[in-house]
Structure 1
Amino acid sequence: METTVEFLRRLGVSTSSDGRRRWPDAVKARIVAETLLPGATVNAVARKYDVRANHVSSWRRMAKDGELVLPVLGKEAAFAPLVVFDSPPAPPPSEVDALSPAIEIVAGEMLIKLDGTTPAARVAQIVRALGETA
């Protein structure tokens, strides 16, 4: 049976001559991820890795702050289907009104109302044309 030092060394933890340990971020992240599994406690996981529970709690805080990227434990990776279109599909007519409000261009006393789905390039052409006639 391997000793704690051998176990930790196998994980990548280095131990100095005075007993201090250097925990790589990947090992910290794995330990934190184990504390998030159902039924796990910080104290139990800390005992498993022979580390103080307050260290594990501080690593959890690091993960919460985005300083550690946690691996996914206990679940297999799954992929979502990908559908690629040459151009985005047109939304149903009932959604067009909600997604694209009408465009109104005011030039002097003139009011031009465009459908919300009018391409931006066409709107720019109209605005340029109005500028040339002013």
Structure 2
Amino acid sequence: MYASGHRRWPDDAKARAVAETLEPGATVYAVAGRYGIRPNQLSAWRRLAKHGQLVLPAEEIGEPVFAPLVVCDPAERNEPTSATPEHMIRIIRGAMQIELSPDTPADRIAAIVHALEAPTC
């Protein structure tokens, strides 16, 4: 807690709270009450997530989740082919390009982007 009396919440705690508000039947008011915060603070965290500034946790599932990966020459990556239609979701970082199906869930895309931003060993 800071001298001002404000608590500093880690991003993973914020993300869990936001994810709870997205559950069927959940309300911002009820989730905020469980976390001991004001609803407007939780709404601010939801805005961060909406703008990609807060990565929500991936759903817990019992099996691995894979996204299709297309590898091509960097010179070819801007040329559409029948294997990579224009409506594919593309994540480009330097010379790396990841192409995802248009029906890839947003939380999966966010997890991939988060993994790409993680420091490498």
TM-score scaled by length of structure 2: 0.49
Which of 1 and 2 has higher RCO (CA within 8 Å, sep 6+)? Answer: 2
- Higher gyration radius (CA): 1
Higher helix share: 1
TM-score scaled by length of structure 1: 0.45
